[in-house]
Structure 1
């Protein structure tokens, strides 16, 4: 059975620097009929577990540790037995949400995660958060960008632990060099492609997006 990409939207809140906002998050499931990984366990562990169904969950991969992307990760791990993976540079953010529960393993740049015959490569893309990562699956022509790149621009950099020049460097040097037909599956909102976003890089830089 060929690997496929499944999409679930969950709703909750994002909190940082004393503010709280209502958000809808994209949860991505990559796998086949027997095994899968979850990218960003947001808000509703029970709903995500139902979407995984009877498959073996190999990992809960966190693209970064803002609370809206990790709030359901420990519960989903407890329900499924899957390890939670996070880049260590985001541990300070993780501890704001889960002070008494650490991730199970670290993500590293260039690491390969295998599921259902697909290899996903971890790309460290700091800027939105210090430990932000994207996952690139060339056999699926897919990039899972978390909050690093959206349809229409880079992720927000106006709050703690973020830095605009760094996210621009990450996007320019790591993401926009991928094939243009790569579909970008984002942390919020609609998908896009590398080709659709690449022409706007200079405009983002000029505007300080």
Structure 2
């Protein structure tokens, strides 16, 4: 065999076979991406709402979330000394209840105080009644309120200023279905017409 041919064969044999690493890496990355998407779709977000034990300001008796089954709930956490957000939000809820007409019979607005120290039951009754007698004020012990706020993912904290204090809190209206599950969240900046439109949409799509 000519030496040139032998040299050529030797060179071919000495060159290692090239693996398609680019294709392999691309396939692996695709598999990881598909797995991540499936995991995100299967992963459940944090649950909003749940059981609570609070005191009905109107009766002085303890109530639970079970007592409101069959009603759509508008749940708002706040306090009576709130300078602007709380009175504005409750005023908007009251106006929305008026705009809803007969549909309002299926809705129960709840105002849960985050300041039980000052918001005694008589204070709550007077405060909510000033907006709409259909708005029910709820209070309770510090632990009961903390438990309810945690269930509904509401943040609140006491901020002391000199000899006085105010309550920093989440300003969101939580809409709860008649079965107790969370339906939607409405920002406190929503006007009464926006609240009315949202409730008509939700109740119309999900039944009463």
TM-score, length basis structure 2:
0.26
User: If each structure's strand is expressed as a fraction of its own residues, which one has the higher value?
Assistant: 1
The structure showing larger relative contact order (alpha-carbon pairs under 8 Å, at least 6 residues apart) is 2
User: If each structure's helix is expressed as a fraction of its own residues, which one has the higher value?
Assistant: 2
**Considering only CA atoms, is the larger Rg found in Structure 1 or Structure 2?**
2
